[in-house]
Structure 1
Amino acid sequence: MRVVVDVSVVGLARLYETARTGIYRVISSLIPELSAIKDCEVYFTSLSSTEINLLVEELFSATGHDNRFIGPADVEKTLFQYAKSLSVIDRKKILQRLVAKVFRRGNILKAIGQADVFHSTFSPLPDVEIAPLSFLTIYDMIPVLHPEYFWDDFDQEFQQILSSVTVGRDCILTISESSKEDICSYLKIDPEMVYVAYPAADTGIYYPETDGEKKQRILKKYHIPAPEYFLSLATLEHRKNLRTSIDAFRRVLHEPGMGGQYLVLVGTKGWKVNELLDEVATDPLLRERVIVTGYVDDEDLSAIYSNAVAFIYPSLYEGFGLPPLEAMQCGVPVITSNTSSLPEVIGGAGILVAPTDVDALAQAMFDIRHDSRLRKLLVKRGIEQAARFSWSRCAGETVAAYQHAFAGMKNN
C-alpha cells in the first residue's frame, strides 16, 4: 500500500512560533515512525503554499528523510526563490502569486494520484478526488461545540475543514474515543469510518530530569525563584481555564504554611488572555507568586516539568491533552479535569476534578504538597500510565486504519 500524508503544519511551525502547538507535536513526532513502517509505503508532502512546501522539504532533508518527501517541481522552486530575491516588493508578490497559480500542486497531485490513500493531517481535503481513499485528521470538535473559545473567523475556517469530508466516502482519524463520539454525533457519520490513534509524549524530550545543575540552570534561565512550584503548561487561553487555576492557587496561598508557593505558567499567549494576566500583575498577593515564562525550548521542558510539585490542568475541553501525559512521563503528579478526553489520558494515575470547582482543585494542590505518600503514589502510577502511549503505537494504529479502510473499500 502506498500512502501520501500532507504535513503542512510542520512548515507553518517553522514560520510561526504560535503554530508549535499540540497538533504540530503530533505530526512531527509521527513522521519518523510512519517512515519506519515496513508493510506500508508512506510518503509526505504539503499542499499549502510553495513557501510552506519548501520549508517542509528543508526539514525532511535535514532529518535524512528527503527520499520520503514529494515536493514541487524544480522549475517552481527556482522561480519562487528568484521571486524572493527581488527587491521591489510589488514585483516579488506578483511573481510569487504567478508561480503558485501556474505550478501549484501540479507535480504533487500527479504523485498523489499514484497512491492508494491520501491523508491530510490538518488542512481541508482537496476539492477533487486525488486518491481512491482519503483520510482527514480531526483532533477535536471544540470549535463547533464551544465557539466561544475562539475568534470569530476560526469557526468559518474549521467549517471549511469539516465540509471537505464526503460522509460515506472519506475516513476520519482522531486522537481519542471522546473526540470520536463528538465527530460521529456532529457529522452524523458511521463510527466504522472514524478511527482512533492515540498520540504520545516524546521520550527524548519528556523524562524525569535528574541533573541537578541543569535544573538549577533552567530555573535561572526562566526567572523562576524557587526550586519547587505548581506548574501549568499550555497555550495561555480561555479554554485552558487559567482563571480557575489562578483562583485555586490564590486559595492555596491562604492555607497555613502555603504562603511561599509559586505557580509557573508556561506557554505562548493565546486569545483574550491579556486582561487576566494584567489582573495577576496588579494583585498584591499574586504578582510575585505567579511566574509567566512564555515559550520554553524543548530541551528545557524535562527540567521545567521535573521541578514541579504538581502539574495542574483544569482544561474545559480537550481532544486528547498532551501536557498531562508529558507531566506523568516526567514523574510529576497530575491534577486535571474529569471531562472530555482527559480521563482516557490519565486513567487512575492522577486526581480528576470538575474543571470549574476551585475548591476541589485547591484541595488537591494542598494534598499533594503536604502528603508525600500520595505524591509518590501518583508519580509511580503516572509513569506506568504514560508508558502505555508511544509514537510507534500511534503509527501502528494509523497504518492499521489505512489498511482496514482500504480493504473495506475494495470489498464493497
Structure 2
Amino acid sequence: MIYINARFLTQDMTGVQRFAAELCLQLARLRDDVIFLSPRDIKQVDIASRLNVKVVGSRSGHLWEQWDLPFFLRKNGCPLLVNLGNTAPLLYLNKVITLHDISYLRYPKTYSWGFRYCYKFFIPLLLGTCKKLLTVSGFSRDEICSQYGFSREKIHIIHNAVSEKFTVSHETGLRRGYFLAVSSHHYHKNFHGLLAAFNKLPEKYEMHMIVAGSTHPNYQPLEFDKNLGNKVSFVGRVSDEELVDLYRNAFCFLFPSLYEGFGLPPLEAQACGCPVIASNAAAMPEVLGESAILVDPLNDDALTEAMEKLVLDPKLRESLIAAGTENIERFSWLLSARQLSCVIDSV
C-alpha cells in the first residue's frame, strides 16, 4: 500500500492545500492501493468523504506529523509516504516530499521569525532524508537546486491545474467595471504596488477594484493612500462559488506578485474567461507565456499603463480572453496525478 500524508484535510484551503486535495482526488481515481492518513480534526469533510481516509493518532498539527504519523508507519512495515504539503515527518526516511517554493528565503519579511527559523532549519534536513522531491514548476526546481545544491535528477515537476468549478459563464452581457485581485496580505504578493498603480489610473475611466482573500485585521486601503476612498473594496476570504462569480464578472484580473512558485489564481481567472495582467517575475512567464500582459511588478507605472491599455482596447481584451482559454489546456489535475503516480512507482 501507498500512504499519503493527508494532514491538509485539517487545514484551511489555500494554494498548497488545494494542490494536495486536487491531486489526491485524481490519484484515488487512478489507483486502488492508496490510503490517506489524517489526524482527527478534519475540516475538509467533503474532500475526505471522497478519499480512503484512515484517521491515526491522537495529536494534531505538527505533533501529529512528527510523532503519530511516523509511529503508525513504522508499526506497518515502513511503507512509502507521499507528502504533498511543504512539510513531512523528519525522522521517517521512506518518503517523497513536496516543496512549492523558497519564498521564506527570497522574501523573509513575509513570514514570522518563528516560521523563517523553522523552515531554514527544517527544509535542508527534509531534503537530505527524502527519496524524491516534487515541486510545481521549472522555476521552483531551479531555485531549489541553486539554494540547496539538490540533485535535479531527484526533482519531479508536478504542475498545478484549475478545478472543474472554474468555468466560463454561459450568460451574456457586459462585464462590471472592476479589476479583481485575489491573494493574501503577504509582502511578496505586492498589494502595496498594486494599490499604488491602481491609484494612478485616471478617474475618468470610473474603474473600481475588488480585493478578495485573507487579510490582516490592520490591513486597510488607508494604510497605502487616503485618496483611494471608495475605489477599492476588501471583501476578505470568499467561497469558491463566490470567487468564480468574481472572476466571471471582472473586467480584468491583476496579479503583480513579486514571487510565486507557480501562481494558480491567474489560471483560475483565465478558466472563467477573465483576461489577466500579471507579473513577469518568478514562475509567471512559465505559467502564462503570451496569454497575459506581463509587467515588471516593481514598476507601478508599467502596471498602470497596462490597465489603461486594456480599458482603451476592447480587441486586446478579447484576444487575451481567447489566449487564456487556450493556455489553461496545458494544465490538468488528471495529468499531474498520472505523473505523480509514475513517481510513486519509480521509488
TM-score relative to the length of structure 2: 0.90
Match of residue 233 from structure 2: 291
Instruction: Say yes or no: does 1:69 pair with 2:68.
Output: no
Kept in 2: contact 1:124–1:160 (CA 8 A): no
Kept in 2: contact 1:316–1:337 (CA 8 A): yes
**Structure 1 residues 229-238 or 2-11, which shifts more?**
2-11
Matching residue within 294, 302, 305 for 2:244: 302
User: Shift of residue 27 of structure 1?
Assistant: 1.2
1:37–1:253 Cα change, 3 Å: same
Match of residue 201 from structure 2: 252
1:378–1:58 Cα change, 3 Å: closer
Give the fraction of aligned pairs with identical amino acids, expressed as a percent.
Answer: 27
1:119–1:246 Cα change, 3 Å: same
1:245-280 residue CA offsets vs partner (Å, 9 max, x unmatched): 1111111135xx31x11011111114xx83653335
- Structure 2: where are the runs of 5+ without partners? none
Opposite residue 54 of structure 1, the aligned amino acid is R
1:6–1:161 Cα change, 3 Å: farther
User: Shift of residue 307 of structure 1?
Assistant: 1.0
Match of residue 172 from structure 1: 133
Matching residue within 297, 305, 329 for 1:363: 305
Matching residue within 287, 297, 313 for 1:345: 287
Q: Which protein is richer in helix relative to its size? A: 1
User: Which structure has the larger Rg over C-alpha atoms?
Assistant: 1
1:30–1:112 Cα change, 3 Å: farther
Matching residue within 115, 138, 148 for 2:109: 148
Match of residue 158 from structure 2: 197
User: Shift of residue 163 of structure 1?
Assistant: 3.1
Instruction: Say yes or no: does 1:378 pair with 2:339.
Output: no
Matching residue within 80, 91, 104 for 2:68: 104
User: Shift of residue 105 of structure 1?
Assistant: 3.9
Match of residue 86 from structure 1: none
Alignment RMSD, CA only?
2.8
Match of residue 241 from structure 1: 190
Kept in 2: contact 1:311–1:333 (CA 8 A): yes
Kept in 1: contact 2:9–2:43 (CA 8 A): no
Q: Partners in 2 of 1:136 and 1:343 — Cα distance?
A: 25
User: Shift of residue 37 of structure 1?
Assistant: 1.2
Kept in 2: contact 1:197–1:398 (CA 8 A): yes
Match of residue 89 from structure 1: none
User: Shift of residue 60 of structure 1?
Assistant: 7.0
Matching residue within 126, 134, 137 for 2:89: 126
Instruction: Say yes or no: does 1:388 pair with 2:337.
Output: no
Match of residue 180 from structure 2: 231
Kept in 1: contact 2:179–2:210 (CA 8 A): yes
SS at match of 2:228: coil
Kept in 2: contact 1:267–1:296 (CA 8 A): yes
Q: Partners in 1 of 2:40 and 2:139 — Cα distance?
A: 36
Opposite residue 252 of structure 1, the aligned amino acid is L
Opposite residue 41 of structure 2, the aligned amino acid is L
Matching residue within 187, 209, 212 for 1:266: 212
1:141-176 residue CA offsets vs partner (Å, 9 max, x unmatched): 110122122221111221243133253853210000
Count of residue pairs the alignment pairs up: 343
Matching residue within 4, 8, 18 for 1:25: 18
1:166–1:30 Cα change, 3 Å: closer
Matching residue within 34, 42, 47 for 2:34: 42
1:351-395 residue CA offsets vs partner (Å, 9 max, x unmatched): 111111111111111111121110010000001101211110111
Match of residue 11 from structure 2: 12
Q: Partners in 1 of 2:43 and 2:272 — Cα distance?
A: 32
- Structure 1: where are the runs of 5+ without partners? 14-19, 47-52, 81-95, 216-225, 407-412
1:127–1:363 Cα change, 3 Å: closer
Match of residue 403 from structure 1: 345
SS at match of 1:199: coil
Q: Partners in 2 of 1:4 and 1:111 — Cα distance?
A: 13
Kept in 2: contact 1:240–1:315 (CA 8 A): yes
SS at match of 1:375: helix
SS at match of 1:287: helix
Q: Partners in 1 of 2:160 and 2:259 — Cα distance?
A: 17
Opposite residue 236 of structure 2, the aligned amino acid is G
